[in-house]
Amino acid sequence: MMNRKSPRYISTMAMLIAVALILAYVETLIPALPIPGAKIGLPNIVALLALLTLGFADALVILFVRAVVSSLLFTSVMSLAYSLAGGILSLVVMFLLTRMYKKEQIGFSVLFVSVMGAVAHSTGQVLVAMFVMSTASLLYYLPWLVVISVITGLFVGLVVYFVYRPFQRVLKSGAR
């Protein structure tokens, strides 16, 4: 755990938030997936990476700042509720799952964590949408989103699998 007042900690957080924002922006440029409203979830790469290297609290801070800023910049404020509900539920699920592993040895299991996080993300968003629109019929939408979540979750997990160790090294290099 880094000292929260150290420039190193502050710049690491700033960098991760910036990367998450860029990924959120890139995602708005990618044409829609076959399932309307579904996204790849590129910012989840940062969320999962932060969760593994910095811990739950810092990952939550990054998620919150990213969601607020990206909803102001790229989408509507309305979408913030969906984004946060999905993101927080996803982060909690991934946090609980990562506790089952020794983090250094998580290996390919990171794909499993990522998939479960993606499924939780979709489920959270559908639940909020059902609440906002006060209807249960959106539930019919969930199976489609779950199928696409498994695919996008595998992709995000694969990226994190390859980035995790190099990123860990960068974090540790020169750390006091």
Q: Which residues bind another protein (CB under 8 A)?
A: 32, 36-37, 75-76, 78-79, 82, 107-109, 111-112, 115-116, 119, 129, 132-135, 137-138, 140-144, 146-147, 150
Q: Which is nearer to another protein, 151 or 171 (CB)?
A: 151
Q: How far is the CB of 155 from another protein (least distance, A)?
A: 13
Enter the tokens of residue 63.
Answer: 């998620």
Is the torsion defined by CA of 70, 25, 91, 142 positive or negative? Answer: positive
Q: Is 41 helix (H, G, I), strand (E, B) or coil?
A: coil
Q: How far is the CB of 110 from another protein (least distance, A)?
A: 8
Question: For 86-123, b where at least 16 C-beta lie within 10 A, e where not — what string?
Answer: bbbbbbebbbebbeeeeeeebeeebbbbbbbbbbbbbb
Q: Which is nearer to another protein, 35 or 171 (CB)?
A: 35
Q: Which is nearer to another protein, 136 or 175 (CB)?
A: 136
Q: Which is nearer to another protein, 12 or 44 (CB)?
A: 44
Nearest to 118 by CA among 80, 78, 159: 159
Q: CA–CA separation, 12 vs 6, rounded Å?
A: 10
Q: How far is the CB of 5 from another protein (least distance, A)?
A: 39
Q: How far is the CB of 64 from another protein (least distance, A)?
A: 21
Q: How far is the CB of 170 from another protein (least distance, A)?
A: 25
DSSP 122-156: HHHHHHHHHHHTT-SGGGGGHHHHHHHHHHHHHHH
Q: Which is nearer to another protein, 39 or 66 (CB)?
A: 39
